[in-house]
Amino acid sequence: MAKILYGVAGEGRGHAMRARAIVESLRAEHDIVIYAPEYAYELLAAVYQDSDVAVRRIPGLCFHYDSRYRLDYWKTGWPTLRYVVGVRYLIRRLQRDIEAEQPELVITDFEPSLPRAAERCGVPFISLNHQHFLVTYDLSSIPSYLQRHVGFMARVVRTYYSGQVETIVSSFFFPPLKPIYREVAQIGVLLRPEIVRASRRHGAHIVAYLRRFASSTLLGALEQCGCEVRVYGLGAGPRRGSLRFFDVDAFRFVEDLATSRALISTAGNQLVGEALFLEKPVLALPECGNFEQHINAYFLRQSGAGMSVAMERIRPAHIHAFLHRLDDFRGRIDRERLYGNPKALAIIKRYLQGPPRPQPAAESQPAREKVLV
């Protein structure tokens, strides 16, 4: 049995769901400790409460939005600065954990502190996320208005960490890799057990997943789509016409998605990939200012498995047009290619069979100080 430390970024459900897919496949044979901030911690701590998988809270980055549902750069920037100032103390804390736990491997899903601590301790780490598509994929086909943002976003991704023994990029779309990144593992979506085991059928309802907020225009458009819409992400609430509102319960959500006609949601890679694996066409609503989601939405359109409309522009006509083409969209879904678990696990298990561990760089040992998180 090997010890694995797993760092998970805290913004959005995709990071947590990817981590859960891998953890569920490894936990029977290996001892796993998850480090996660914010939303990812809340999701994973609830799932693994009183289990053999430990989930520990750490500080992390989180996005904030204004009253118009746009990314609020000021509210996001100040906590980010505070995190950056304190990150060296967090890395020292994680170094102490690594020294105590003696893991064979560290995995990071876009969490930057744990891999830095691993590198200082000479422990190999694997990068497994979606965001590295911005660095490794050939994105020359995307529209020019998105091209302008790719360079900046790729620089941000590169600053998170370097030195990983493997880079695995999980995505529902598969453009070519850049020539200099031919060794990168390009895999499908990492699917948790409930998704893989779900019984699929095409029911009468639609599932909508919206992150934290929804405008009256969006809710009005959903209400006029002509069928029941089960809305997740806004919390439980009273019924509004054809709209029913539910708390995010992982098992109920999967059942509703697997038996739905289609998904209408924000354009996060993980959820779009899960829906497509369940043969549900997707109407993606990329959030204003979230250019990663706009790129995801572009590739969804290119795949032929769905449509996209900017969230602030959605109207009933868009939803009706989407529902009219469900059979065409469904026929373009390649479920086998979307299933990324086997390839990811094969790579990870190579590093749990005793490869030579790199020696840590010589450096002075930091003082052992108490860090409040």
Q: What is the pLDDT of residues 14-46, one digit of tens each?
A: 899 999 999 999 999 999 999 999 889 999 999
Distance in angstroms between the alpha carbons of the first and the last residue of the chain = 30
Question: Could you tell me the pLDDT band of residue 371, with boundaries at 50, 70 and 90?
Answer: very low
Domain range list for the chain: 3-190+340-350, 194-336
Q: What is the pLDDT of residues 317-334, one digit of tens each?
A: 999 999 999 999 999 999
Alpha-carbon span 57 to 35, nearest angstrom: 6
Please give the average per-residue pLDDT across 338-362, as a whole number.
Answer: 77
Q: What is the pLDDT of residues 260-301, one digit of tens each?
A: 999 999 999 999 999 999 999 999 999 888 899 999 999 999
pTM over 0.85: yes
C-alpha atoms less than 13 angstroms from C-alpha of 370 in its C-beta half-sphere: 1
Superfamily (CATH H level) for 3-190+340-350: Glycogen Phosphorylase B; (3.40.50.2000)
Find the angle CA(200)-CA(322)-CA(314) to the nearest 5 degrees: 120
Domain 3-190+340-350 and domain 194-336 have a common topology: yes
Q: How confident is the model at residue 20, as a pLDDT?
A: 96
Whether 78 shows a pLDDT value over 80: the answer reads no
Class for the domain spanning 194-336: alpha beta
Q: How confident is the model at residue 211, as a pLDDT?
A: 76
C-alpha atoms less than 13 angstroms from C-alpha of 304 in its C-beta half-sphere: 7
Whether 74 shows a pLDDT value over 70: the answer reads no
Whether 117 shows a pLDDT value over 60: the answer reads yes
